[in-house]
Amino acid sequence: MADRIPTGRVARGSRIGLLTAEQTVRGVGVRLSMLTAPGRAREYLAERSTLQTAQQIVTVLGGLKGAAMKVGQMLSVLDLDLAPQSHRELFRTKLAELRDRAPAAPFTTMRAVIEDELGPLTQVFADFDETPIAAASIGQVYRARLRDGRWVAVKVQYPGVEDAIDADLRNLRMFSSLWKAAVPSAADDAVLGEIARNLARELDYPAEARTQHSLAARYRGHPFVTVPDTVPEYCTERVLVTEFVDGKSFEHIRTLPDADRDRVGELIYRFYITSLFTDYEFCGDPHPGNVLLAADGRIAFVDFGLYNHMDPVHVEFERSCLRAAGEGRADDLYRAWVERGIIDPESGVDAEECLDYVRATVGWHLVDEPLTVTPEIATAAVVLVVDPSVSRFQGMRRQSLPPEHVFSRRADLFTFATIGQLRASNNWHRIAREWLYRDEPVTDLGREIAAWRARRRE
């Protein structure tokens, strides 16, 4: 790619527009070709189209970085109609490159940023691997060794990425077209605007460094979870240096036996979901690229640029609504939503529709039975929230979720989608009861974590 990512609104918008148009044309062409092709040729056409589509998305969105690449990362955890059902795993695997193997910026470009922030490379690092271990929407991550011998991860912002995000904010209509090409029912500018606006927060590396240092302390000594600590003296406006996690990727975790994937799924749930209701704060960017299996067997969580502290009043509102839905108290749920301004009482939406909608979108917290979360189930929930007009919930399309709840609900959905990639099984309601009703934990992991916390309080 070029030394600098495209930052102008016109340049970025034209690439998104071309990508959207080409996906539309390719889809029509492939469908026409497959009408007359024999069985083996039809299979070949489907596979070739899948790879071409995924490769083009990786190349274009990965090269643009910013909100464009974030949209691609979100698509990588959904079960999409961009590829035939038989080839969606192939498509998803290719698109997953946007999480950890996206097109990389040249090291010469990134070295200039590091040295502008920290001074000459050799004065800080004894070794520095010039090949990035991850390339994300805001920056790239490198493995290096400090002069005191510690191995670290060095996250470096792309030059010009702040201008790229600003351009993306002004290009929401173009993103809507791309999003609609991927998820035909969903072209909601409000959703895309929320993505782009929150992405701008990820530019604040000093805030991320403070958050990560706090979380590392909170999880220090945890039996199952670890958060790498920061190295504060080397954290600046555009460079973030943290402890290095020697771990296996999420793709490796997906190959583990069922019991191991179920265990990881429960830990992901506890880290991203439970924390909101117990600590009134949560990580707003759950996706597979931020989950690693550390060498000591613990699950490592990284990337805290989108970390949120939520007013306890708003958290308690969400908890009370979920309890009402779980207990079948449709009238109480409806009344709470009307009072909060979520439901217009003149809209024709009734209490039972509200109840059914909550059960359809977040029922995994509420149903007291084992559930295997699959990509198909998770994607259906995401699409239903983004655009209820595809279902029986026509009236919900015209209702409005207050801003203070948008991000927590998005985090919930994409935690669901991430666990879906593992096809993890559990009675999620039994875990949820710990924060819904403050019940004692009933899973082995939950009991061991509770015991660890009790020891820390002594």
Q: Mind telling me the catalytic residues? A: 285
* Count of CA atoms in the C-beta half-sphere (13 A) of 61: 30
Q: How many CB atoms lie within 10 A of CB 429?
A: 18
Phi, psi dihedral angles at 58 (to 5 degrees): -60, -45
| Pairwise CA distance, residues 55 & 343, whole Å | 42
Joined tokens for residue 32:
């026409």
* Count of CA atoms in the C-beta half-sphere (13 A) of 134: 26
| Pairwise CA distance, residues 142 & 131, whole Å | 7
| Pairwise CA distance, residues 197 & 10, whole Å | 19
Residue 385 amino acid letter: V
| Pairwise CA distance, residues 142 & 135, whole Å | 9
Alpha helices in 119-236 (DSSP H): 121-124, 161-169, 172-182, 189-201, 205-218
Measure Cα distances from 162 to 95, 109, 193, 202, 422 in Å: 24, 16, 16, 10, 34
Beta strands 134-135 and 425-426, pairing class: unpaired
| Pairwise CA distance, residues 73 & 164, whole Å | 17
